[in-house]
């Protein structure tokens, strides 16, 4: 066994990525403070072909050296927009038929292993601040909360790690 060289991985160019079909989901960031986490979201959005990334509240936006450092250039390939007030794009997504899911530990949350997206219905996943989580007003605007089961002593994952887990689980259902 040997590791593949980058040239052997048949990755899309930025232009090919921009013109490619995306999975029917949007990532929404609710007041993420870490530039490195924002960059990680861009990189994960690229890897799992997200339709769009919405940077909400005080979430930093490109161009920024620290975002680029962890995004490795994905901030150029992934469609994104900035929204000071996330209630507006969430309402617009709902009008377009999206189901909105906050990734949060909450009463009545859906455990990730039980999550079954409706066929033909696009979704948006909201990820919250590293300390406070998804804000209450945003949770109230969502259709449901998704929770990643955890079995250790800590009560949460890093938000960018949570994105990798949630988005892979969603994309896996679309490709199988």
Residue 138 lies in a domain: yes
Q: How many domains does the chain have?
A: 1
17-48 in b/e form (b: 16+ CB < 10 A) is: beeeebbbbbbbbbbbebbebbbbbbbbbbeb
Residue 52 included in any domain: yes
Please give the model's pTM, rounded to 2 decimal places: 0.96
* pLDDT single digits (tens) 100-153: 999 999 999 999 999 999 988 999 999 999 999 999 999 999 999 999 999 999
- Whether residue 9 lies inside any domain: the answer is no
Give the bridge partners for 54, in sequence order.
28, 81
Report the chain's mean pLDDT, rounded to a whole number: 96
Domain extent for 169: 25-148+155-175
55 belongs to a structural domain = yes
Instruction: Give the CATH number for residue 69.
Output: 3.40.1280.10
pLDDT digits (tens, 9 = 90+) for 14-48: 999 999 999 999 999 999 999 999 999 999 999 99
Is 95 within the bounds of a domain?
A: yes
Give the SS3 label for residue 159: helix
Is 8 inside a domain boundary?
no
Asked if 111 contacts 52 with a C-beta cutoff of 8 angstroms, the reply is no
Residue 72, pLDDT above cutoff 90: yes
């Amino acid at each position: 066994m040997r590791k593949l060289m980058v040239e052997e991985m048949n990755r899309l160019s930025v232009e090919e990525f921009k013109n490619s079909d995306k999975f029917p989901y949007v990532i929404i960031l609710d007041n993420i403070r870490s530039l490195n986490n924002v960059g990680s979201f861009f990189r994960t959005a690229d890897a799992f072909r997200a339709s769009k990334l919405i940077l909400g509240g005080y979430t930093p936006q490109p161009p920024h050296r620290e975002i680029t450092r962890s995004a490795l250039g994905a901030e150029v390939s992934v469609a994104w927009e900035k929204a000071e007030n996330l209630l507006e794009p969430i309402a617009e997504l709902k009008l377009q038929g999206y189901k909105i899911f906050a990734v949060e530990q909450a009463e009545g949350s859906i455990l990730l292993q039980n999550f079954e997206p409706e066929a033909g219905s696009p979704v948006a996943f909201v990820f919250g601040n590293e300390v406070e989580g998804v804000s209450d007003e945003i949770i109230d605007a969502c259709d449901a909360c998704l929770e990643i089961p955890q079995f250790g002593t800590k009560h949460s994952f890093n938000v960018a790690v949570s994105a990798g887990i949630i988005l892979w689980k969603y994309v896996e259902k679309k490709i199988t």
